[in-house]
Each structure stands twice: as C-alpha cells, then as structure tokens.
C-alpha cells in the first residue's frame, strides 16, 4: 500500500499484511484503491477482511487494473465504488511449488470455493458472482458492467440512495386471500394485525426430499406402510392435513406425506431445489428482526408453518454447496454450531429484512 492509499502488485502468499494495517492506521486512510492483476486468492481474502475490520472503503477506477484475486480484496470495503469495467473476474487457477495429485487438487478446489463463498457472504456480496467467474478460464477476464456490479452487490449504493429509493416506492397492498376450498390446510391461524404473518392454505406442491424421492404413507405416521414412492419434482394435490402430515393425492394414490417432504406452491420459501442455511430460530418476530439486523453476516427471517421464525443466510444454494458452506462457516465461528442446511419446505415467506448491507 502506498501513501496515497493504493494497493499495487500481485498478491503473494508470503505478503505481510501488518505493514498495510500500520500504514492505514497511521495515515488515517478512509479508502483504498488497487492496481493489481490478481495473485494468491487467500491473501486477497485476508486483505479484504482486514479492510473491513479497519472500516475502510474501496474505490476502483477503470484507468487502473483490479482483476482476478484483486476483486476479492475490493469486496472488503465497507462502502464500495467502482467504475463500469474496472473490476475483472475469471476462473481461479491453483498453482504452487508442490505437484498435487488429482484427489488433492479436487479437495483443494472444493475448499477454496467454500472459503470464497463464505467470504462473499460475510462481505454482503451475492455468491452468484462466483458462478459468473467460473464461466471464464484463467487466461480470460470478464470485466463487470455497472448493472452486474449492482446485481451482485459488488458496489454499495451511494449514501442516502437506498433510503430515497425506499421512499420513492409505494408498497403494494397485500393480495386478498382467496377463499380456500374445504378442507383448509394451514399450520396456524392468520394474524389479523399483520397480513405478512398469515399462513395461507396449502393446496398443491412438489416433492422435494434430500434423498431424491419420498414415500406416500398409508397413515400419518412414518412407520406406516408406504403405498407409493414419488420422485423429486412430482406434483401432488394437498387434500388436508393431520398435524405435521399432509393428506395428498397423486394420480389414483391417496395417502400422507410429511410437511418437510413437500414444497408447497402457495408458500414463498425460495427457488425449488435450492437449500437454505438456517442459523437460528425465534418464537417472535421482534427478536428475529433484531437478530437479523445486528448480525455480522447478511441474514433473512422466514415465517415457518409452526408460527416460529427461521433465521437463514440471505442467499440460497445447491444442496452440496449449502452443506459445505454451513460446515465451513461453523468452523470459522461465523454462524452458530447448530446451524444446518435445509430445503425450507416449511418456510412460508420471508418477513425480514431487505436492507442493503
């Protein structure tokens, strides 16, 4: 880092970040710029976390380069501004002094991917940015447009912009609930005081089970006989419920399926087939909102069919990545040790919070 607040050169594993820390503090720096083609991914992530701890902003101009691993360091800024085309991303190459066998190379790539996604979430960035990066080989660079930087939250809104945007938007009135056909299927009574806490009747859904399929049971009991097995994605009509069990129909088959096996069409729990990482739950909205707003990582709160509120990471993921991410973040102490990945089939809708980090 120069006296003008610019980080220059390649990121190297042996870089000593204590010099950056001391210079940033002694110069009372408020922001950092970069002129770097990339380098070691882990060192760039370490610098990004240090930038965040120091409360610095990051600024990037198109006239200088910030590509590859440098883009990760840029994400550490508390406030982030970048001109269109100034941030470049691509697939990371893994190289070193030691030759790796295939098994070690695959393991290393999986670990680095989990580390990178964890870091992006901590910084308030959409981890879908990594998916975009992986589309470009190591010898190619994708420079992000203004809309892409906004979509993936690479940049932060200008101070006051988020509040003005919210003020300019007129909230849509809640949709009038349709009169359900009997029997109604809801896990708790709607709240007349807060329409967002009303739980709609469940009438239809699709099978969504970790094992790829789920049985229709003769009775609302896991030990009862299975009368059919449905693959994930199979549609069912929901005829009623008995406790945590839906009475369902698929073709000529009628029986029972547990509520964690069915992705209900009338709920807004997230994209079908995607998994959440649930970190905590509360029995009231006030505590749930307080926890989300004070957390160091971006979170959301979902109303659950039992009337509780599930706290999750803000984004959803493919199942293997959700599990790896939960394990990695627990190991780092970023989320509670009892956090777990779930398909969220019992989530009704998101009720908190859409603030920009």
Q: Which tens digits make up the pLDDT trace of 209-234?
A: 999 999 999 999 999 999 999 999 99
For residue 209, what pLDDT is reported? 95
84 and 26 together in one domain: yes
Q: Does 66 reside within a domain?
A: yes
For residue 172, what pLDDT is reported? 41
Q: Which domain holds residue 234?
A: 195-264
147 and 229 together in one domain: no
For residue 175, what pLDDT is reported? 41
pLDDT tens-digit readout, 81-118: 999 999 999 977 444 443 445 555 555 666 777 788 88
Q: Does 215 reside within a domain?
A: yes
For residue 329, what pLDDT is reported? 83
Strands 235-242 and 245-250 come out as: antiparallel
309 and 348 together in one domain: yes
46 and 115 together in one domain: yes
Question: Domain boundary at 107, 129, 158, which?
Answer: 158
CATH number of the domain to which 260 belongs: 2.30.30.40
Q: Does 217 reside within a domain?
A: yes
288 and 227 together in one domain: no
Q: Does 183 reside within a domain?
A: no
Q: Does 348 reside within a domain?
A: yes
The residue ranking higher by pLDDT, 196 or 40, is 40
For the cut 80, the answer to whether the pLDDT of residue 3 exceeds it is no
242 and 289 together in one domain: no
Question: Domain boundary at 158, 184, 217, which?
Answer: 158
Worst-scoring range by mean pLDDT, 15-24, 95-104, 232-241, 243-252?
Answer: 95-104
For residue 117, what pLDDT is reported? 86
How many domains would you assign to the chain?
A: 3
21 and 152 together in one domain: yes
111 and 23 together in one domain: yes
For residue 106, what pLDDT is reported? 54
Q: Does 335 reside within a domain?
A: yes
Q: Does 240 reside within a domain?
A: yes
44 and 68 together in one domain: yes
pLDDT tens-digit readout, 283-322: 999 999 999 998 878 899 999 999 999 999 988 888 888 8
Worst-scoring range by mean pLDDT, 66-70, 109-113, 191-195?
Answer: 191-195
Full 3-state SS string of the chain: CCCCCEEECCECCCCCCHHHHHHHHHCCCCEEEEEECCECHHHHHHHHHHHHHHCCEEEECCCCCEECHHHHHHCCCCCEEECCCCEEECCCCCCCCCCCCHHHHHHHHHHHHHHHHHHHHHCCCCCHHHHHHCCCCCCCCEECCHHHHHHCCCCCCCCCHHHHHHHHCCCCCCCCCCCCCCCCCCCCCCCCCCHHHCCCCCCEEEECCCCCEEEEECCCCCCCCEEEEEECCCEEEEEEEECCEEEEEECCEEEEEEHHHEEECCCCCCCCCCEEEEEEEECCHHHHHHHHHHCCCCEEEEEECCCCEEEEECCCECHHHHHHHHHHHHHHCCCCCCCEEECCCCEEEEEECCCCC
Residue range 2-6: mean pLDDT, rounded = 61
For residue 188, what pLDDT is reported? 41
Is pTM beyond 0.75 here? Answer: no
243 and 329 together in one domain: no
303 and 248 together in one domain: no
Q: Does 270 reside within a domain?
A: no
83 and 110 together in one domain: yes
Worst-scoring range by mean pLDDT, 2-11, 36-45, 112-121, 285-294?
Answer: 2-11
CATH number of the domain to which 142 belongs: 3.90.226.10
């Amino acid at each position: 880092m120069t006296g003008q607040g610019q980080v220059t050169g390649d990121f190297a594993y042996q870089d000593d970040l204590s010099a950056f820390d001391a210079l940033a503090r002694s110069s009372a720096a408020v922001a950092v710029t970069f002129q770097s083609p990339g380098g070691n991914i882990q060192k760039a992530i370490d610098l990004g976390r240090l930038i965040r701890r120091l409360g610095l902003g990051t600024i990037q101009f198109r006239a200088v380069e910030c590509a590859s691993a440098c883009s990760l360091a840029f994400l550490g800024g508390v406030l982030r501004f970048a001109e269109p085309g100034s941030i470049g991303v691509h697939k990371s190459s893994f190289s070193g002094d030691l030759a790796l066998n295939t098994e070690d190379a695959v393991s290393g790539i999986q670990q680095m991917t989990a580390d990178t996604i964890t870091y992006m979430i901590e910084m308030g960035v959409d981890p879908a940015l990594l998916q975009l990066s992986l589309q470009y080989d190591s010898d190619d660079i994708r420079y992000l447009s203004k809309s892409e930087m906004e979509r993936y939250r690479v940049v932060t809104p200008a101070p006051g912009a988020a509040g003005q945007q919210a003020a300019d938007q007129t909230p849509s009135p809640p949709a009038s609930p349709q009169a359900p056909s009997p029997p109604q299927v809801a896990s708790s009574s709607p709240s007349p005081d807060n329409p967002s806490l009303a739980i709609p009747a469940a009438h239809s859904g699709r099978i969504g089970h970790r094992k790829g399929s789920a049985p229709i049971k003769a009775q609302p009991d896991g030990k009862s006989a299975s009368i059919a097995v449905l693959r994930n994605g199979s549609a069912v009509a929901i005829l009623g419920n008995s406790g945590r069990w839906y009475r369902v129909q698929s073709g000529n088959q009628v029986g029972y399926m547990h509520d964690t096996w069915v992705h209900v069409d009338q709920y807004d729990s997230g994209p079908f087939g995607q998994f959440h990482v649930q970190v905590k739950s509360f029995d009231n909205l006030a505590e749930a909102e307080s926890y989300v707003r004070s957390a160091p990582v971006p979170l959301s709160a979902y109303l659950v069919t039992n009337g509780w509120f599930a706290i999750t990471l803000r984004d959803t993921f493919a199942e293997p990545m959700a599990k790896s991410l939960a394990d990695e973040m627990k190991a780092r102490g970023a989320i509670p040790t009892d956090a777990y990945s779930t398909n969220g089939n019992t989530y009704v809708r998101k009720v908190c919070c859409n603030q920009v980090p």
